Amino acid sequence: MEDTVWIVGGGLAGTLLGLEFERLGRRFRWFDQGSGATSSQVAAGLFNPLLGPRMSPDPGDWSELATRYREWEKRLAAKFFYPMPMRRPLRGTKVTEADFPRKGQGWEAVVEGEEVFITGGGWVDLPVLLAAARKRGLARGVLEQRLVPAEEAQGHKVVWCGGLADFSSPAWQNDPLVKGRWQAVRGDLLTLKAPQCRQEHISIGARFLLPLGKGLFRFGATHESDVLSMDERPLVRDHLLAEAALVPGLGNFELIDHRWGIRPASRTLEPLVGRHSTQENWFLFNGFSGKGVSAIPRQLGAIVQLVWP
Ligand SMILES: Cc1cc2nc3c(=O)[nH]c(=O)nc-3n(C[C@H](O)[C@H](O)[C@H](O)COP(=O)(O)OP(=O)(O)OC[C@H]3O[C@@H](n4cnc5c(N)ncnc54)[C@H](O)[C@@H]3O)c2cc1C
- The CA–CA distances, whole Å, from 61 to 57, 66, 71, 272 equal 11, 9, 16, 21
Verify that 176 and 227 share a domain, yes or no.
no
Residue 300 vs residue 34, higher pLDDT: 300
Averaged pLDDT, 282-309:
96
Give a yes or no: residue 161 inside a domain: yes
Coil vs helix vs strand at 260: strand
Give 246 Cα–ligand 1 centroid separation in angstroms.
Answer: 30
Verify that 194 and 239 share a domain, yes or no.
yes
Kindly report the CATH number assigned to the domain that includes residue 142.
3.50.50.60
Verify that 256 and 133 share a domain, yes or no.
no
Q: Which of 204, 188, 187 is nearest to 50 (CA)?
A: 204
Which atom of ligand 1 is nearest the CA belonging to 46? 8
Whether 202 and 122 have beta carbons less than 8 Å apart is answered as: yes
> Please, which pLDDT band fits residue 2 given cuts at 50, 70 and 90?
low
Verify that 227 and 295 share a domain, yes or no.
no
User: Is any ligand 1 atom within 6 A of the Cβ of residue 42?
Assistant: yes
Verify that 190 and 254 share a domain, yes or no.
yes
> Cβ–Cβ contacts within 10 Å for residue 145, how many?
13
Give a yes or no: residue 177 inside a domain: yes
User: Is any ligand 1 atom within 6 A of the Cβ of residue 133?
Assistant: no
Averaged pLDDT, 114-121:
93
Entry pTM: 0.96
Helix, strand, coil abundance in the chain, percent, nearest 5: 30, 30, 40
Verify that 256 and 196 share a domain, yes or no.
yes
Averaged pLDDT, 147-160:
96
Give a yes or no: residue 100 inside a domain: no
Averaged pLDDT, 180-205:
95
Verify that 172 and 215 share a domain, yes or no.
no
Averaged pLDDT, 186-190:
97
Cα angle 74, 214, 222 (rounded to 5 degrees) comes to 85
What single string gives the DSSP state of each residue in 176-237?
A: TTTTTSEEEEEEEEEEEE-TT----SEE-SSSEEEEEETTEEEEE---EET----S--HHHH
Q: What is the CA radius of gyration of the chain?
A: 20
Which atom of ligand 1 is nearest the CA belonging to 291? 11
Give a yes or no: residue 299 inside a domain: yes
Kindly report the CATH number assigned to the domain that includes residue 240.
3.30.9.10
pLDDT at 59 over 90: no
Verify that 41 and 133 share a domain, yes or no.
yes
Give a yes or no: residue 105 inside a domain: no
Ligand 1 pocket check: which of 38, 124, 208 to mutate, most ligand atoms within 8 Å of Cβ? 38
The structural domain count of the chain equals 2
Q: Which amino acid residue places its CA nearest to atom 18 of ligand 1? A: 292
- pLDDT at 1 (0 to 100): 42
196-244 pLDDT, tens per residue? 999 999 999 889 999 999 999 999 999 999 988 899 999 999 999 999 9
User: Is any ligand 1 atom within 6 A of the Cβ of residue 297?
Assistant: no
Averaged pLDDT, 39-60:
91
Give a yes or no: residue 53 inside a domain: no
Verify that 223 and 254 share a domain, yes or no.
yes
Query: Pairing relation of β-strands 86-89 and 115-119?
Result: antiparallel
- pLDDT at 94 (0 to 100): 78
Give a yes or no: residue 114 inside a domain: no
8-state DSSP, 73 = H
69-113 pLDDT, tens per residue? 999 999 999 999 999 999 998 877 777 777 788 899 999 999 888
Question: Which burial class, exposed, middle or buried, applies to 173 when counting CB atoms under 10 A from its CB (0-12, 13-18, 19+)?
Answer: exposed
Q: Which amino acid residue places its CA nearest to atom 26 of ligand 1? A: 163
Whether 282 and 171 have beta carbons less than 8 Å apart is answered as: yes
Domain extent at residue 214:
183-264
Verify that 255 and 188 share a domain, yes or no.
yes
Alpha-carbon gap, residue 213 to 180, rounded angstroms: 41
Whether 271 and 295 have beta carbons less than 8 Å apart is answered as: yes
Averaged pLDDT, 40-56:
91
**Average pLDDT over the chain, rounded to an integer:** 93
% the chain with pLDDT above 70: 99
Q: Which of 33, 308, 21, 278 is nearest to 166 (CA)?
A: 33
Give a yes or no: residue 207 inside a domain: yes
Whether 307 and 283 have beta carbons less than 8 Å apart is answered as: yes
**From the centroid of its chain, how far is CA 197?**
26
- pLDDT at 65 (0 to 100): 95
- pLDDT at 36 (0 to 100): 62
- pLDDT at 16 (0 to 100): 98
> Please, which pLDDT band fits residue 41 given cuts at 50, 70 and 90?
very high
- pLDDT at 53 (0 to 100): 80
* Backbone torsions φ then ψ of 282, nearest 5 degrees: -110, 140
Verify that 260 and 130 share a domain, yes or no.
no
